[in-house]
């Protein structure tokens, strides 16, 4: 009876994507471990980016920094 806990940031993951995650995780257990899909549990936890850190920074800050860098890069590209 596998229990799979998927943690993702809460950044616009739609219902179809969640269904695909559940299906993919379940299929992996069937293919690799020959588990019964009827007894395979998949739980998706969406974590606010303020509550997820990478290195010393919150993901919220890292996302804002990445967006700012992308804007600067696009402005500096020659036409």
The answer on 36 and 56 residing in a single domain is no
37 & 6 share domain: yes
**Which of 2, 30, 44, 62 is labelled catalytic?**
2
Are both 26 and 54 inside the same structural domain?
no
Which pLDDT belongs to residue 28? 98
Mean pLDDT of 25-41: 98
Residue 57: in which H helix or E strand, if any?
strand 57-58
pTM to 2 decimals? 0.80
Lowest mean pLDDT among 18-22, 30-34, 44-48, 73-77: 73-77
Whether residues 33 and 59 share a domain: the answer is no
What is the spatial distance between Cα 40 and Cα 33, in angstroms, rounded to a whole number?
A: 11
Supply 44's token pair: 């998706």
Tokens of 64: 């804002």
Statement to judge: residues 8 and 39 lie in one domain: yes
Q: Residues near 1 by Cβ (< 8 Å), separated by ≥ 6?
A: 35, 39, 40, 41
- pLDDT band of 79, cuts 50, 70, 90: low
Asked whether residue 36 falls in the same domain as residue 66, the answer is no
- What is the count of structural domains for the chain? 2
Indicate whether 13 and 42 sit together in one domain. yes
pLDDT of residue 69: 87
User: Residue 2 is part of which domain span?
Assistant: 1-47
pLDDT, position 50:
97
Asked about 2 being catalytic, the answer comes back as: yes
What is the C-alpha separation between 68 and 76, in angstroms, rounded?
13
């Amino acid at each position: 009876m596998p229990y799979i806990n998927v943690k993702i940031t809460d950044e616009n993951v739609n219902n179809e994507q969640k269904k695909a995650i559940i299906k993919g995780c379940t299929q992996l257990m069937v293919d690799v471990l020959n588990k019964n899909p009827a007894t395979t549990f998949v739980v998706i936890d969406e974590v606010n980016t303020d509550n997820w850190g990478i290195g010393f920074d919150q993901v919220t800050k890292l996302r804002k920094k990445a967006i700012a860098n992308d804007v600067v890069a696009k402005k500096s590209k020659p036409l």
